[in-house]
Structure 1
Amino acid sequence: MKLSIAALLVTSVAAFAPSSVERTSTALNMDRRSAFAQIATTGAVLAGIPSIASADGAVSSATINRARGLYGDRIAALKDAVAAGDFKAIAEEKNAFILFNSGAYPTNKAKKNAAIAQTNEIFKAIRSGDKAAVKSAYDAYMAANEIRPLPEINSNVGQGYSSEFDFRSRTKAGAIYVR
């Protein structure tokens, strides 16, 4: 809407601007009727152009579950690296922490800020090189955010997903029964 108003304003200014650089007279050679017709035509053209799409950051239980499943599983998979003190492996999954925090708590600012603070504690312990602090910060993060790895589903026992659009497809939780 703002873009349409700005474009309309620019075209109306252009309609009244002198068309020749050589002309020294400030008198307009265009009568009012043709100027307003030009403005109205431009406005009609702009009104016919579809609005620019804008992402609204849709939040639903499905998007939250997807973030918890995708990034929570990546964080849970770091359990062995944390136990071994492999700081490089944890640091390589920094984006999983960031994406989990923003995706799992898109509307709850208090929980999101708490998760971000816990993530900062993990990486502060990594920077200091303290394996025990990393393990305790990681365990606190996992418990506070209720992160669990995706279960391993066997297609003989059950079905983990129903379409290719499900985040569990192509994971250990993504078994599907096929006759």
Structure 2
Amino acid sequence: MKLSIFALLVTSAAAFAPSSVERSSTALNMDRRAAFGQIATAGAVLAGVPAIASADGSVSAATINRARGIYGDRIAGLSGAVASGDFKAIAEEKNAFILFNSGAYANNKAKKNAAVAQTNDIFKAIRSGDKAAVKSAYDTYVATNEIRALPTVSADDGQGYCNDYDFRVRSKAGAIYVR
């Protein structure tokens, strides 16, 4: 896309470039075609320069709460699988652990490293096939990181969210009062 725009601008700049025929000069020794040619060339150069990335790794209380809510709920939902020894169900939610650790502790490297170590303990126990070790490691992880499931909210009990950008919209906590 950028290449085609660049080619179009270069072609239009060539069309406005002065020909070899001598023209009468203006006070600035430049005619309109030459000026538009230079403007088009400058525009083509600026269009070819990639935009400077300005992502700041936005970390706020809202993004931390979002990570705790979305991925914490998924981790809390594994309690039945942990109790029954369903290692496959726990392994399928590995990304929830990874995303929880990176999102909930984006500002605290020490807590993030501790949570990652606890996650590794859970999956080490899964690889060894020790049901009791998985339960112990999972319980420690949930308690240490204060993971709780989202509450079930109905429109009769109250309101769970207020706009479509809230992470609770399509969850069991996502109830809204509508008249």
Q: TM-score range by the shorter chain?
A: 0.7 to 0.9
- Name the TM-score, length of structure 2 as normaliser: 0.73
Call closer, same or farther: CA 1:160–1:43 in 2, change over 3 Å.
closer
Q: What residue number does 1:91 align with?
A: 91
**Which runs of at least 4 in structure 1 moved beyond 2 Å after TM superposition?**
41-54
Q: Percent of counterpart pairs with the same letter? A: 79
In the alignment, residue 65 of structure 2 is paired with which amino acid?
A: N
Q: Distance in 1 between matches of 2:50 and 2:148?
A: 44
Q: Distance in 2 between matches of 1:147 and 1:123?
A: 18
Q: Distance in 2 between matches of 1:79 and 1:103?
A: 21
What do the CA deviations read for 1:11-49 (whole angstroms, capped 9, x no partner)?
A: xxxxxxxxxxxxxxxxxxxxxxxxxxx9xx769954996
Aligned length: 140
Which structure 1 residue ranges, 5 or more long, are not aligned? 1-37
Q: Distance in 2 between matches of 1:96 and 1:50?
A: 34
- How far residue 54 of structure 1 moved from its aligned partner, in angstroms, is 3.1
Q: What residue number does 2:161 align with?
A: 161
Q: What residue number does 1:61 align with?
A: 61
Q: Distance in 2 between matches of 1:62 and 1:113?
A: 21
Q: Distance in 2 between matches of 1:76 and 1:145?
A: 11
- Name the TM-score, length of structure 1 as normaliser: 0.73
What do the CA deviations read for 1:108-164 (whole angstroms, capped 9, x no partner)?
A: 000000000000000000000000000000000000000000000111110000111
Q: Distance in 1 between matches of 2:49 and 2:175?
A: 46
Q: Distance in 2 between matches of 1:76 and 1:134?
A: 14
Q: Distance in 2 between matches of 1:43 and 1:176?
A: 50
In the alignment, residue 65 of structure 1 is paired with which amino acid?
A: N
Q: What residue number does 1:113 align with?
A: 113
- How far residue 107 of structure 1 moved from its aligned partner, in angstroms, is 1.5
Which structure 2 residue ranges, 5 or more long, are not aligned? 1-37
In the alignment, residue 130 of structure 1 is paired with which amino acid?
A: D
In the alignment, residue 106 of structure 1 is paired with which amino acid?
A: A
Query: Aligned Cα RMSD in Å?
Result: 2.1
- How far residue 55 of structure 1 moved from its aligned partner, in angstroms, is 1.8
Call closer, same or farther: CA 1:49–1:159 in 2, change over 3 Å.
same
- How far residue 76 of structure 1 moved from its aligned partner, in angstroms, is 0.2
Question: Which structure 2 residues correspond to residues 13-162 of structure 1 after superposition, within 5 A?
Answer: 45-46=45-46, 51-162=51-162
Judge which range, 95-104 or 43-52, deviates more. Answer: 43-52
- How far residue 175 of structure 1 moved from its aligned partner, in angstroms, is 0.4
- How far residue 78 of structure 1 moved from its aligned partner, in angstroms, is 0.1
Judge which range, 45-54 or 134-143, deviates more. Answer: 45-54
Q: Distance in 1 between matches of 2:46 and 2:137?
A: 55
